[in-house]
A and B are shown apart, each in its own frame.
Chain A
Amino acid sequence: MEHLISYLNEDEFLELLKINPDIKNADEEDIVALISILKSIDLQAEQIRKVIIANPFYLTRTPNDIEKLFEAFKSLDVTYLDSILLNCPWLLDKDSFEIEDYIENKINSGLEMEEAMETLLSDVEF
């Protein structure tokens, strides 16, 4: 957890563990990869800290699933993923197929692609 500790203070880390006790089973290597994925979309250190605190479940996702999730966003022409995730950190709980299914359902119900994306980003119940 050394890598994680460099982003959080001890109290914050313990607080995250209380909410998501599975963090203790996560590999250091995966944590490093997950943080590196957030850096790759231009999130700065302080922003990464905020995202992790807001969504402690991100730390127990698999890096592969997150890469697929980001690919799904990119394939939908989502720009500024950093801003989107800072505003909606709960989207990091999603899987790529959920995003694709959501958009497909909205398009099938008559929305344009752009409207479907907007609905996705503001749908807090999703």
Chain B
Amino acid sequence: MEDFLTKHNFSKKDIKTIAKTCREMDFKKTDFENLERIIEYFLKLHFSQTAIARRIKAEPQLATTDVESIKKRVKELKDLKYDSKDIAKMLQINSKILTNPSDYLKSTLDFILSKKIKPNIALSMTVHYPYLFDCPNSEIDKKLAEIEKIGFSKEQALSIFEHHPAIVKKEPQFLLDHIGDLMDLDFTLEEAHHLISFSKVYLRGPRDVILAKIKLFLSLGLKNRILTDPYALVANIDSTLAKVEFLKGQGYTSPIHLDRYLFMSGTYFKNRFLVSPKEILVIYKARRELEIARQKKKEKE
């Protein structure tokens, strides 16, 4: 086995990890032969050597699973319309997908589809959060009900689940804290519910980075943009600040102008405003250097 792993560029550490699992599972000659075939198959799926060693450590049952049943399961995933890249990604996170009964996948997907979520979104949700397959449907339903109980509508609860499937593992306090953050910024309760469920990234970004973006847009009079554009909070705060400084320097200070120009694509922005494309980079760099210096000073203190 060691020669096989060395030939396939496994590091000593990864070899040690795999050998330990084989020992613990009391491997026989045929088990080793099967495992070699599994490893070759995973390498074909573009798993890294370390990822393979980790999967075997995390899910020892995988090492004794018949390689043909693994291939069959991957085919089932392809039949469900997952692409190869997404299959590899899911399996590297949750390899129980390969060892659990096939109903394990179908039950979750059928459940999501029963909520009138589009099939491509259902696939994307499980790719981004493959542990969703481990959540019993009743638990997801319970979580959705909990979200509704704290004031979100049924549609909003589903939207939160769509944008952030890991919500099924979060306590209600997580959403209550976010609602509190927004109400501290003078959003109404309805606006807070709307923004949290409507924005594509509200629950995916670091909480205070998202809040810093919201505060910035509010200070510029762009509350309406936040509430009507689900992508508004995707904007990078550093480049947005640089653009704001630049626009203000050019005399564009009204919310109408800022709303029009801040959300232009970078290329349009540069074509519209800059004498030299390097100009924005200079402003951007200056701001970043200042920010890093401030951060370091704060850490020293």
Q: List residues of A whose CB falls within 8 A of some B CB.
A: 15, 18-22, 25-27, 29, 42, 44-47, 50-51, 53-54, 57, 60, 62, 64-65, 79-80, 83-84, 86-90, 93, 95, 97-98, 112, 114-115, 118, 121-122, 124-125
A86:B265 contact, CB within 8 angstroms: no
Given A20-B131, A124-B234: A64 in contact with B205 (beta carbons within 8 A): no
Given A54-B205, A89-B206, A118-B267: A83 in contact with B57 (beta carbons within 8 A): no
Contact partner of B238 among A42, A80, A98, CB < 8 A? A80
Contact partner of B236 among A18, A83, A115, CB < 8 A? A83
Which has the most chain B C-beta neighbours within 10 Å: A42, A53, A64, A122? A122
B225 close to A (CB within 8 Å): no
Q: How far is the CA of A8 from the CA of B140 in the complex (A)?
A: 27
A53:B206 contact, CB within 8 angstroms: yes
- What is the minimal beta-carbon distance from A94 to any residue of chain B, in angstroms? 9
- What is the minimal beta-carbon distance from B63 to any residue of chain A, in angstroms? 14
Contact partner of B51 among A42, A62, A121, CB < 8 A? A62
Q: How far is the CA of A50 from the CA of B204 in the complex (A)?
A: 11
A65's nearest neighbour on chain B, judged by CB, is B48
Given A84-B236, A114-B266: A22 in contact with B204 (beta carbons within 8 A): no
Contact partner of A98 among B85, B265, B267, B288, CB < 8 A? B85
Q: How far is the CA of A42 from the CA of B207 in the complex (A)?
A: 20
Which has the most chain B C-beta neighbours within 10 Å: A54, A65, A112? A54
A124:B267 contact, CB within 8 angstroms: no
Contact partner of B231 among A46, A80, A124, CB < 8 A? A124
Q: Which residues from B are CB-within-8-Å of A125?
A: 124, 200
